[in-house]
Structures are given as C-alpha cells and as structure tokens.
Structure 1
Amino acid sequence: MTQIMKNIEFSQVLDLKELITYQQGQVVSRTLAQTPIVSITLFSLDEGEGISTHTTSGDAMVQILDGEAEITIGDKVLTVKEGETLIMPSDVPHGLEARKRFKMLLTVIKY
C-alpha cells in the first residue's frame, strides 16, 4: 500500500506549528501530501515575504497557525490571523503577503 502522507510522523500527536521553521527573508514549505486531487502543504513566510497572485484549479483552504497574513482574492483584501481559516475558490486570482511572519497549512482540493 502506498502512503499518501509524507514528511510527517505517523501515529503521534503533532503540533503543526512546530513542523516548520521561519527563515529570514524566505518562504519555506513542507509538503505533507501531493496527489492529482489533493495537496497539503505547511508554509512559513517571513515578514514582508509573499506568494504572487495566481490561480488554482481547485478550492484552497488556508489555516493560519501563527502570525498574520494579508490575502487578496480577486479584488477583495482580507487580513487573516492565527486560528482563522479562509477558503480561496478555484480559478479566482489570489495571492498573499506576510504582514507579520506567519505559518499556514494549505489544503488544495482539485476537481
């Protein structure tokens, strides 16, 4: 049987915030699952770093684990903080910037 989840311990209680570190001036990612239908990735972004505007062929759920981000979806700009979740619909341009350094769990479901 092939395991879909990777880069993460099985059968353990984990703190997702602790599975990825901040790097000065960088965006850091850690892929936890990647299939044609779903991707699950942890990210950390240093203050002022961002991910440029793009579209995806699936709905994307961002869960902020630490810090604060400014996320743009179409022409809407939203501030999202630790403990908050945001859904970015497929085929709508979106991007983000770290207003304060932040960590997030990104889940993309493609269809």
Structure 2
Amino acid sequence: MAEQPLIDVAKEKIISLAAETRFAPNSIVSRTLLRTPTSRTVLFGFAEGQELTEHPSTQHALIQIVTGECEFSLADKPHPLKAGDLLYLPPNLAHAVRATKQFSMLLTLSKPDTN
C-alpha cells in the first residue's frame, strides 16, 4: 500500500520542510508530500554516507537541496551540491547520489508529456 501523502490535493496547506524531514542513523528516510496523476513530490532525509546507486528515472526530476551537502553523479561525473542548489534531470538520465554530510532534498517527479 502506498504511503498517504502529507498534502491533500483538494486543500491548501503550508508545511515546514525542516519540521517534516526525518533522519535516521545509517538510513535514507522518504516522505511523500504530494501525489497527483502526473507528478509526485517526495522529501528525503539522508544520513551522512548514505547513497542511492546509479539508476535512471522515466520522469522529469527536479531536485532541490534543502539542507546539508551531497554529491550527484551524472554520466559518472561528480557534482557537489549544497543547500539552496537546484538540479534538473531529464527522463532516462542515469544518476547516483551520496550524502557527503547529512542532507535533505525535495524531489519532484513529473511524467513526460505524451502529446
């Protein structure tokens, strides 16, 4: 069963990303904030040293680093990112991420236009 999103699409809501981010030792914690038929927004909390190995996404990905520091690898080239940075990944681009320090990020995935 899918996680219940924190935001109901039928109601306005203001949230604090800092208050809603969860961290756990030696873990990556994710929380779905919003889900629509064409997009999903997920808040991640990475413990220092945690990583997601290389993988592609079939969707557009917009990633905002909220706190801390990380390294995204795109085509095997490392890119250090810090709080306030924004990264866009087109569909099917293989990428990996590693927490160089504890960090949080907001990931918005949107389905490609099929028209």
Match of 1:79 in 2: 80
1:43 maps to 2:62: no
Q: Which moved more, 1:80-89 or 1:6-15?
A: 6-15
Question: Once the two structures are aligned, what percentage of the paired residues are identical?
Answer: 33
Contact 1:20–1:43 (8 Å) recurs in 2: yes
CA distance in structure 2 between the partners assigned to 1:21 and 1:12 by the alignment:
19
CA distance, structure 1, for counterparts of residue 37 and residue 93 of structure 2 = 20
- Find runs of 4+ consecutive structure 1 residues off by over 3 angstroms: 8-13
5+ residue gaps in structure 2? none
The structure carrying a bigger strand percent of its residues is 1
How big is the alpha-carbon RMSD for the aligned residues of Structure 1 and Structure 2?
1.8
Equivalents in 1 of 2:7, 2:110: separation in Å? 20
TM-score normalised by structure 2 residue count:
0.83
| CA–CA distance in structure 2, aligned partners of residues 15 and 7 of structure 1 | 12
Note the alpha carbon deviations across 1:19-75, whole angstroms, 9 max, x for none: 022111000000112345211100000000011111011111110110001001123
TM-score relative to the length of structure 1: 0.86
The offset of 1:76, in angstroms, is 2.4
The corresponding residue for 1:30 is 31
> Which deviates further from its counterpart, 66-75 or 33-42?
33-42
Amino acid at match of 1:17: A
Aligned length: 107
Secondary structure of 1:48 counterpart: coil
